[in-house]
Structure 1
Amino acid sequence: MNNATILLINQSFGGSHMNSIAATQSRVGLLHKFQTHREIIFSIIGGLFLLFAFIADRNEATFVTLVLYLLSYGIAGYSKAKEGLLDLVQNRSLNVEILMIIAALGAASIGYFHEGAILIFIFSLSGALETYSLQKSERDLSKLIQLAPEEAHRYNEDGSLMTIPVDELRIGDRILIKNGERVPADGIVRNGTSAIDESAITGESLPVDKAAGDEVFNGTMNGNGSIIVEVKKDNQDSLFQKMIRLVQEAKSSRPPSQQLIEKIEGPYVMTVLIVVALMLTIPPFIFGTDFEQTFYRAMVLLVVASPCAVVASIMPALLSGISASAKRGVLVKGGIHLEQFAKAKAVAFDKTGTITKGKPVVTDFIVTEGHQEEDILDHLVTVEKQSSHPLAQAIVNYGETRSISGQQTITHTQDVTGHGVKAVINQHEWYIGNLGLMKKMGETDIIPEKIDAKRKVLQNEGKTVMYVGYNGDIVGLIAVKDQIRPEAKALIAELNKKGVKTIMITGDNEQTAQTISKEAGLSEWVSECLPEQKVSEVEKLTKKYDVVAMVGDGVNDAPAIAKAHIGIAMGSGTDVAIETADLVLTNNQLKNIASTFKLSRKLNRIIKQNLIFSVAVILILIVTNFMQQLTLPLGVIGHEGSTILVILNGLRLLKN
């Protein structure tokens, strides 16, 4: 046998094997789709048998008609009957499914197969729609889970690479992230450069350049370069894993309104069954009414008094709302929080990282006469390059914008805690800090009039002012300010327009807090608050405004976030803030707070509409039945039709 023949045989068997695998995968996929959409498939098949039975009945094919009706009963009613019986056996609680089973069987027992089959079909269809709303919500929420990779390329001690599950990664491990791969862990870049797509976390569509020392996040997409990253968090502590846990919490939660309905469902069903039992005994045996007619009316009552529409008034709408929130980057930990958000009369904000960007920038740089700006700035940048303090970084960044990188030689530096820094450059002393530092160094005997006047103006504008000292003289000042996020200003304006009070709670001094608040358009502000004081301020706001939301991102915000009725955390915030919050802005877009507030209001309107409509339909149908004016087909259509309508009304939120 030659090599060509062997190759041909291998290709034939290999091709057959691959085709077999593909066929198996296809069957598995079809089976999964069937399981997912089983309820709606059974409902439609049951509806088709109902249609065929109706046609057969018109052609007087009695036996075929009966068989088709029985098939319609069994197939369309299978899922709901199983659900109701399991609930009855396992939890020993009555439910609307039991009422529907009894009503359908009762209708069949007196020859109303057609009406009973219609009841089962519409009831199964409404149940399938409710299941669809749950599945749709789960799919939208679970899209986030799909972004988290399952494997990582870890370097061993000998320098070799090993592909392992992300759960086996440990803090300190070094991993290789190749071009086009998702980042498998939160960490710090140690080698290489790349552009990372962080839109899943930050909402920014443009990739972010990353180099040594920059932070990367689990679930983000690596771009055009390979990088080596040191793992800084275990997988379960990464941002994406926290989001996955939020998804699970959101899917399993029930708001108080839904819990109340579920609580009274059993007693209500029992009451209906008792009334039906009295109808079947008292009129025929005491008043001598026709038993068949009385039985018919009792079956109609079973149908129309069932609280299907009431039960379906809340959860489909709530799940649709949670799903709609997830689409725009807001993870809701439970339906109660989305339902309650519309009732908030005040929203409190932390300042840094929430209202402001959290990255101060230099706004003013002034020097005294006889000195050159470039020369002084060169010395400033040289000194501040040694520090990682945000204010120092702001000065370094300012120098970069003016092409000044700080090339002087430092022989000595001294940090003066709470005041600033002293440095010796080329045997000359330089001081950068507040007025306290200047006094400490004996440099404030005479403050230049121009500098002092400008300092007062800048401080009144809410800016942090630092003096620059040189060999015993004050030669200039530099002002730094944290910039207000444009989207924060837009959000605050929209909330104010809706009559919701907006309050900033910050640890900054009164002057800065007042300036920032006025610039952002806030209703009120509270300054100089420690973390424990933030909690007491939220308590005061609760007494004043009843329902209060709190927005923050830091460790110091977590107690206040927990104390508020609705706690909201930025997705880029600290772990404790995210864990404590009820709503998480995964893409850090503050505008989503306003859209979620609108969504919450719409959700509450839809729930009220559904409850009023469903209760009204039940009352009208019951009264009409006792007036002997309601037939079983009309009762079925009226009752089940109202159930379908409230579910569809709730599903409208998916388009929000």
Structure 2
Amino acid sequence: MKLSEEKKALLSTILCLIFMIIGFILEKSGTVFYPISFILAIFFGGFKQTKEGIVDTFENKHLNVDLLMALAAIGACIIGNWFEGAMLTFIFCLSSALEEYTTNKSKKEIASLMNMQPETALLLDDQGKTTDVTVTQLQIGDRLLVPKGARIPIDGILIKGSSTIDEAAITGESVPVEKGINDELFGGTINLGEAITMTVNKNSEDTLFAKIIRLVEEAQNTPSQTASFIEKLENTYVKIVLVAIPMMIIIPFVFLGWSWNESFYRGMVLLVVASPCALVASATPATLAAISNGARNGVLFKGGAYLENLASLKAIAFDKTGTLTLGVPVVTDAIFLKNKQESLNILLAMERQSTHPLAQAIITRFEHENTAVYDQIEVKNIIGFGMETTIGATTWRVGKSAFNEYTTISKELEIEIEQLQNAGKTVIYLFQDQEIVAYFGLLDVPKPEAKEVITYFKQSGIHTTMITGDHEKTATAVAAELEVDDIYADCLPEDKTILVKKQKAMYGINAMVGDGINDAPALANAAIGVAMGQGTDIAMDVADMVLMKNDLKKLQMSHLLSKKLKRIVTQNIAFSAGVIAILILSNFFQIINLPLGVVGHEGSTIFVILNGLRMLKTIPIEKKSLQPFHTQKTELV
């Protein structure tokens, strides 16, 4: 079985560590063959990096730390410090293995997204017969049959029938949308109602689903500014060190009267003390500790760079449904105008025969009520409106107000209903023949911790935005409760991506928080993409960090963790760079010998590692003095 690159890197690191430990034990026991074990450690740990460094140097004319670390290990061995050479190799090998794991991700998210896109469609001819064809064969103007429960194969217009469409894959909204004649349909969404007929209005490569795939691919193939900066810095650093080593050997020998042995000795000491071992350890252990801390607290970071960048966050955008809100509608208002017990009995009997999210919300709201059970009730679904049943001589209906256009509504009742609608709530009615006997307001309410988290980011000077595919009234109601800085409603995936790109250009480091397929392009284009753990696989795959427990407070904790990491890494870099500078100067003035150089070099490495391990400590979340969000539950009889 062929090993993946990640497994190869891990195996090399383990072998390097094993042979390094064996060599250390053999050296302490006085065995003369101990260098062989250290050579094996350096070989297994440094072969891949050294090979890549040589190839990069000759093919791309680019010098990197891989080559410098190989020379440092060889230099340590030349002056007789075998353990030092193996240790340098091990630390760098470990860093490379972690980089391999975090940066060389497979693009399985693209494959999984494409698997959700239908491959075939039922093409209708003039005689009404259907033919199973591939989606790529479809042309604009073709007529298609979409059976009940099937995915809509391609973007188009509904020309026959009406249905309820689950557009969660596109808009991310939990409530299905009613579609009628001439309404637009999107490929990848699901037909929950009866069979419909549609006409194709876009080619397969131009559908909304196809755009999502392209946007994700484009974002993933664009290198970050940080990656480009590190590459340039690495090249410069290696050149400086490689030039300094021969100068350290030749100049004192020729101009200062040093012996050749002393000059060469000082050159080898410089090669050891100038190696970036402590600088590498300045960030890696601290970052690993922070990532472990996050994982322990339910936050998955896909790389240290994203955790570090979070400290410099200037703007954050949230999807609404499932991110800031619970993701399912909740009955916030229940008003019974007459016959409450009888109305409730029949209402639940009807709703229990539906899987619609609104029906489930009503069942959840009243499931603990004492109600009579109607075993033999027959319910008829009326697409686009709701359900109806007849008990005795009375017809009961539950659904939208358009269910019975002849019902007379008093001015007072009309005002009360309008108030609910203006608050962004979906209003459902229960009819007894021609009379409204009850009505209910439903809303996807904010999560309990949402306002506290929004307040934290605002107080931290970070611009907050809510971007949603939901309607403006509903979005405005939620945004007003949470007090976000900006709100954008009725957004498709492409709109969300454009907004996130604009914020990235304006603020630099920005974040997007979402949970749906529709959020994937925006997550991929943000400087930091944050996915909710209970969201879709594609959102979690393209995101840079995942809140595994769907708890927004973990996002606040992550920001605090990142700021602490930034402080510690800054301390480590300043300390390690200072030590290296002192060691280099001390070596030039012949103040230190090799053992002291090793002690200073390794001592600084141990210090920054221990300082970095402080990131394992749990970050306390300061509680704000906020009024908790209360769901309004009005119940009048």
TM-score under structure 1 length normalisation = 0.63
**1:392-434 CA deviation, whole Å, 9 max, x = no partner?**
12222333221226528656635251x4444444333334334
Partner of 1:22: none
**Pairing 1:51-450 to 2, within 5 Å after superposition:** 71=33, 73-76=35-38, 78-80=40-42, 83-84=45-46, 87-88=49-50, 91-92=53-54, 94-105=67-78, 107=79, 116-117=80-81, 120-122=82-84, 124-125=86-87, 268-269=237-238, 271-285=240-254, 288-368=257-337, 371-404=338-371, 407=374, 413-417=380-384, 419-438=385-404, 441-444=405-408, 446-447=409-410, 449=412
CA deviations over 1:139-178 (Å, ceiling 9, x no partner): 99xxxxxxxxxxxxxxxxxxxxxxxxxxxxxxxxxxxxxx
Q: Which runs of 5+ in 2 are unaligned?
A: 1-10, 58-66, 103-222, 619-637
Q: 1:538 aligns with which of 488, 500, 513?
A: 500
Q: Counterparts of 2:590 and 2:444 in 1: how far apart (Å)?
A: 74
Deviation at 1:373, TM superposition (A): 0.6
**Structure 1 residue aligned with 2:428, among 452, 462, 466?**
466
Counterpart of 1:580 in structure 2 is: 542
Check the 8 A contact 1:462/1:515 in 2, yes or no. Answer: yes
Q: Which residue of 1 aligns with 2:604?
A: 642
Does the CA-based 8 Å contact 2:75-2:272 persist in structure 1? no
**Contact 2:331/2:443, CA 8 A, preserved across alignment:** yes
Residue aligned with 1:313, SS: helix
Distance 1:599 1:466 in 2: 45
RMSD (CA atoms) = 3.8
Post-superposition offset of 1:442: 1.2
Gap change, CA 1:362 and 1:648, over 3 Å in 2: same
Cα–Cα, structure 1 residues 354 and 264, in superposed 2: closer, same or farther, change >3 Å? closer
TM-superposed CA distance for 1:96, in Å, is 2.0
| Equivalent position SS for 2:312 | coil
Cα displacement string for residues 122-147 of structure 1 (whole angstroms, at most 9, x for unaligned residues): 5545665677789999999xxxxxxx
Residues 650 and 406 (structure 1 numbering): CA distance in 2 closer, same or farther, change over 3 Å? same
Distance in 2 between residues matched to 1:510 and 1:300, nearest whole Å:
68
**3-state SS of the aligned residue for 1:95?**
helix
SS in 1 for 2:367: helix
State the match for 1:552 in structure 2: 514
Q: Deviations over 1:512-535 (max 9, x none)?
A: 223222333433322233333323
Query: Where do 5+ consecutive residues of structure 1 fail to align?
Result: 1-33, 54-67, 108-115, 141-253
Shift of residue 594 of structure 1? 1.9
Task: Write the distance in 2 (CA, Å) between the matches of 1:600 and 1:468.
Answer: 52
Distance 1:83 1:125 in 2: 10
The aligned residue for residue 471 of structure 2 is 509
Aligned-partner SS, 1:595: helix
After superposition, the Cα gap between the structure-2 partners of 1:86 and 1:357, relative to the gap in structure 1 and judged at 3 Å, is: closer
Per the alignment, residue 498 of structure 1 pairs with: 460
Cα offsets for 1:463-507 (capped at 9, x unmatched): 322233333223332222223222333333333332323322223
**Partner amino acid, structure 2, of 1:565:** A
> What amino acid is the match of 2:410?
I
Q: How far apart, CA to CA, are the structure 1 residues paired with 2:588 and 2:12?
A: 42
Q: Matches of 1:567 and 1:535 in 2, distance apart?
A: 12
Structure with more helix by fraction: 1
* TM superposition shift of 1:285: 4.1
Measure the CA separation in 1 of the matches of 2:476 and 2:392: 42
**One-letter identity of the residue aligned with 1:547:** I
State the one-letter code of the partner of 1:374.
Answer: Q
Q: Is residue 439 of structure 2 the alignment partner of residue 477 of structure 1?
A: yes
**Larger Cα Rg: Structure 1 or Structure 2?**
1
Cα 1:340–1:284, aligned 2, differ >3 Å: closer, same or farther? closer
Distance in 2 (CA, whole Å) between partners of 1:365 and 1:257 is 54
In the alignment, the residues of structure 2 paired with residue 472 and residue 338 of structure 1 have an alpha-carbon distance, to the nearest angstrom, of: 60
1:374 Cα deviation (Å)?
0.9
State the 1:600 CA deviation.
2.5
Opposite residue 293 of structure 2, the aligned amino acid is A
Mapped contact 1:542–1:548 kept (Cα < 8 A):
yes
**d(CA) in 2 for partners of 1:574 and 1:81?**
43
- Distance in 2 between the 1:491 and 1:524 partners? 15
Percent same amino acid at aligned positions? 42
* Paired residue secondary structure (1:317): helix
Counterpart residue identity of residue 610, structure 1: N
Alpha-carbon deviation of 1:309? Answer: 1.9
Q: Distance in 2 between matches of 1:139 and 1:286?
A: 49
Shift of 1:551: 1.7
Provide the rounded CA distance (Å) in 1 between the counterparts of 2:250 and 2:524: 57
TM-score (norm 2): 0.65
**How many residues align structurally?**
479
Does the CA-based 8 Å contact 1:262-1:311 persist in structure 2?
no
Paired with 1:416 and 1:314, the residues of 2 have a C-alpha distance of 59
Match of 2:190 in 1: none
* Contact preservation (8 Å) 1:126, 1:647: no
What is the distance in 2 between the residues matched to 1:507 and 1:631?
A: 67
